[in-house]
Amino acid sequence: MHKIQLGSIIEIELADSQFAYGCKFDSIIVGIYKIISSNKLQISDIILNQISVYIAIDNSYLKKRPFKIIGKINLLNDEIYPPDLAWYAEWLPEDSLKRSTIRNKKGKTEYTNKEYYISLVKKGLVMNVFNRPEYLSLWLIDNLNNWPNYEIPLE
């Protein structure tokens, strides 16, 4: 099996037969464009959209081909790194806020101050982890068009 290249554009067929699209960043991050379409799109149309959600998917998961790779764009210099992303668990918001841990642009986990952490969460710049492709598909249907859509816990 070959390594999934940086800049690979991934087509995600959703449970309702629509499509979402992502771009492979650094070693494990896929950025999901803020678009859900009932028709398959061309890369030139996809990249006109903003990346809205970041998910962690390792190469072994991608190699199983739960998603279709439809092409590649060239990422240059700092473009290969997603922004700082908060490690935020929606089911443990108080614990997430207490830890205030982020994954920085270079892929390292670090602790940060609560103000910066909250600013990332408010923007939706969080690391989402999905173990099974169907979970991602259902989550995108419910959340992509109105992300971020949760309240941040008060201390």
Looking at the structure of the chain, the number of domains it has is 1
Within a domain: residue 2? no
Structure tokens at 46: 């996809």
Within a domain: residue 63? yes
Instruction: Kindly report, residue by residue over 100-113, the tens digit of the pLDDT.
Output: 999 998 889 999 99
Within a domain: residue 1? no
Distance CA 19, CA 56 (A): 19
Residue 26 makes CB contacts below 8 A (sequence gap 6+) with 6, 80, 81, 82, 107
Residue 146 has pLDDT above 70, yes or no: yes
Pairwise pLDDT comparison (88 vs 152), residue with the higher score:
88
Convert 54-78 to b/e letters by CB count within 10 Å (16 or more is b): bbbbeeebbeeebbeebeebebeee
Residue 131: band (very low, low, confident or very high) from pLDDT cuts 50, 70, 90: low
102, 120 in Cβ contact below 8 A? Answer: yes
128, 54 in Cβ contact below 8 A? Answer: yes
Structure tokens at 83: 């922004």
Distance CA 7, CA 79 (A): 9
pTM for this prediction: 0.84
Instruction: Kindly report, residue by residue over 64-85, the tens digit of the pLDDT.
Output: 666 888 999 998 877 778 899 9
Sign of CA dihedral 32, 74, 107, 86: negative
Structure tokens at 74: 């060239």
Within a domain: residue 154? no
Within a domain: residue 114? yes
* Domain region containing 124: 8-146
Within a domain: residue 3? no
